[in-house]
Amino acid sequence: MTRAIQILLLAAMLGLLLRLLARGEYLYYVKPGFLPALIAAAVVLALMLLFVVKDAWSATAVEAHDGHEHDGHDHGGHDHAEPLAALLLALPLIVVLTVAPSPLGAYSATRGTGGAQTVERSFAPLPAGDPVELAVPEFVERAQSDDGSTVAGREVRLVGFVTPNPDGPWWLTRFVVSCCAADATAYRVVARGGPPLEADTWVALTGHWVRSAGAPDGIPTLQVVEYELAQPPSNPYAG
């Protein structure tokens, strides 16, 4: 593996991190708490790049002085046997440049390991004053716990995106991520009486919980009273 390719690959990884950090797009992939780790990784990569460039520079200077032909090999006395698979380190940057970065959306919400299977928990009563701002996952868990008594009769406001449902009203959806987007779990709420909206539209719904006896999949229903379109949040995931 030549120095030139090493430099290109390190630069590709560094470029990937810098781009995702500069635009805040890293939040599509990992949790906000991961920021310091990503910055530290970028700093180490930058130092690695610096040293490889410096070595290449001094190696070229030595060659020019000795009048040797550059044969593309390392002159520091090291064997370089990186497998060609190392070239794939350029791929993440290529993907970012080809496919515009986006958070997980409606396509993933109904696939993979399916919806959230929550455990019943005990919740404190909601604070006074309707409507109460709630995260979609918390609303789902409250509706499933204690017979929904903490949300019954209350008006709530939920923010999420639209996931089309072929068999009924669309689902208001939010993903919960515990480490990275590969482990995301979708939380869904049936938006009864909601306006017709495109998939992946972000929307804030105000409404109240509907006790639905026969919801086999555990997805609670919200009777929509009011809606307004919402900006996609900078952190698309909850939890």
Footprint of other proteins on 163-192 (CB under 8 A): 178-183, 185
- Using CB under 8 A as the binding rule, the residues of this chain from 27 to 46 that contact other proteins are 28-30, 34, 37-38, 40-41, 44-45
Residue 201 burial (CB count, 10 A): 16
Nearer to other proteins, 173 or 185 (CB): 185
Angle at alpha carbon of residue 110, lines to 188 and 206, rounded to 5°: 25
Nearer to other proteins, 28 or 207 (CB): 28
**Which listed residue (23, 68, 70, 111) binds other proteins by CB under 8 A?**
111
**Which listed residue (56, 105, 138, 191) binds other proteins by CB under 8 A?**
105
- Using CB under 8 A as the binding rule, the residues of this chain from 75 to 104 that contact other proteins are 76-92, 94-104
238 binds other proteins, rule: CB under 8 A: no
91-104 CB burial, b ≥16 within 10 A, e <16: eebeeeeeeeeebb
Contacts of 62 (CB under 8 A, 6+ apart): 75
Note whether 188 and 140 are within 8 A (CB): yes
As given in the structure block, the two tokens for residue 102 are 């986006």
9 binds other proteins, rule: CB under 8 A: yes
